[in-house]
Amino acid sequence: MLKRFIPIAGLLLLAFLGEAQKPAAPTTDAPSYTPSGDLIAPIHYREWIFLTSGIDMSYDAATSQPSAHPVFNNVFVNPTAYRSFLTTGTWPDKTTMVLEIRGSENPVSINKRGHTQTSEIRGFEIHVKDHGKWSFYDQDGNTPLAKLIPPPADCYSCHENHGAVDTTFVQFYPTLLPRAKQKNTLSPAYLKEMASPVASNSTK
């Protein structure tokens, strides 16, 4: 009996050591920073809640023509903030959104039309609500740190003027826009924008 137990115990020890070598899962999905104020980019963001994926998006009418090399914008949010939004219709403090920018390709394998995402990540932007204030951070993917994009960068005013909920583009999040309508948390700026003749025509 003892001879059979020793190999089993050895296998269990190897399995334990293998698990110990894996990166530890985060104990919180709240944002964290270095002493100098840089945001520590969340490395497990792809295990968060997927909100949407846009392709070849542009907010500038001058670039309305399709791009020859479109990119995908994938948006993820930390689970704690997502669950809170489902209850309240707005974002709590410590909300963290990650915008992952990927290249596209066509054709690939059996796909003959449309575009698929590549493994190439072209960049990240991170949107964080901390102490009641939203901030934008930029990460190039070669460092675990994300640098603050200081106001008055265009991203701040664009989100303030057009964000559907709490200066965020919930209008592009199909699973959350109905909840915001249900909770009456849509911003006056967004409601005014959607009531304009141009917006009404664009949705037909």
* Per-residue model confidence (pLDDT) at position 88: 98
Checking if the pLDDT of 68 tops 90, the result is: no
Query: What domains lie within the chain, and their CATH numbers?
Result: 37-150 (3.50.70.20)
pTM of the model: 0.81
How distant, in Å, are the alpha carbons of 13, 19, 20, 160, 161 from that of 16? 5, 5, 6, 50, 52
Identify the CA nearest to 139 among candidates 125, 128, 155, 129: 125
Contact 126, 96 (CB under 8 A): yes
Could you tell me the pLDDT band of residue 65, with boundaries at 50, 70 and 90? confident
